[in-house]
Amino acid sequence: MKIAVIGAGVAGLTAGRVLAESGHEVVIFEKSRGYGGRLATRYAGKDNNSKVDHGLPYIEVSSADIEPLISDLTSSGVLVPWKGPFVHCNANGEISNVKPNKKRYIAPEGMNQVGKKLARMVDVRTETKVSGVTHIGEDRTKKRSWMLNFPTGLTENFDAVIIAAPSKQAYAILNTTIDEVQTLKLLREVDDVEYYPSFSLMVGYGETEFPDWAMMTCENEVIESITNEASKRGEGAECSFVVHTTAEFAEKYKDSDAEEVEEIILDELAGILGGWSALPEWKQLHFWRYSKAVNPLPYPFMEVVGNDAPIALAGSYMNGDSVESAYLSGLAIGKFWNHKFSE
């Protein structure tokens, strides 16, 4: 079968990989330039020599179900255990050591390497936005059930479609089929999923000596956590941090000018780390509109059944909100369709 996957995050890449390994022709469409979704890395600083993970800074292992992915990525050198040290700053500014109760892994070359590794098995078309999906109909003269529509006016036909984008984007795409197939139940459930937003402020300080901790969580109205990016990169890395804000702050300032947001975050950062941190050599701000699902759906994936035009939804908002839930969602729909389409 010829299968389209919309979204090259962990869920989409995993589903595509599983289906391709069973012989299906899989094409993954991604509207941005890179792979991996929130496993994202920026190149910044002098000559773009600094790598900073401005999305998810690490992968956390909650169950044995994700071990196959971790094993694959560690054996290939993409991931290594993140040993810390990890610290916490309370509301009074007191810093203490903390020990995570779950294993954490980082990518020394940047978290975007995870997506690049998963994308090697499939045809991924980046910077390609899908604007709609059309059911061709039972009276079609050609075999394919679905036609993907692109803003350029071009189209491409497929037998089946997986939408592996954040729920709000999935809703917009799925809604284009509402008068053609029985997608109403899926639309209702997906529309109920809400997200917390977040800002990530990336800052660099050149050859300034960096702290000996790897990550700091904070009791702060503005800052939720600070990752010490230099601690991931090894010898020769410049001092750089990614400051992740609270959802409440991001919601309040999501429509504000970037300079105002940066100034507030840097002022809070100085209160935690010291005045020197308010004067970075460089800085970049990124807004994550869909940072974390508030109310994930209690399924591994969702599918329209009872017709000859298979279409399904997968993503990190299924059964959680993490790399693990995204991986398990993609794995589940991939295995399910492999079994279903082999009958």
**Does position 140 have pLDDT exceeding 60, yes or no?**
no
What CATH number labels 2-340? 3.50.50.60
pLDDT at 306: 64
- Mean pLDDT value of segment 82-101: 94
* Confidence label for 152 from pLDDT (cuts 50, 70 and 90): very high
Which residue in the block uniquely carries the two structure tokens 């810390």? 84
Beta bridge partners of 147: 134, 157
Q: Residues of the chain with pLDDT > 70: what percent?
A: 96
**Does position 78 have pLDDT exceeding 60, yes or no?**
yes
CB 89 within 8 A of CB 219: yes
Each residue of 176-194: pLDDT tens digit?
886 666 788 889 999 999 9
Predicted TM-score (pTM) of this structure? 0.92
Residue spans of the domains in the chain: they are 2-340
CA 237-240-241 angle, to 5 degrees, is 140
Spell out a b/e string for 227-248, using b for 16 or more CB atoms within 10 Å of the CB, else e. Answer: bbbbbbbeeebbbbbbbbbbbe
Each residue of 271-307: pLDDT tens digit?
999 999 999 999 999 999 999 999 999 999 999 876 6
- Mean pLDDT value of segment 240-260: 98
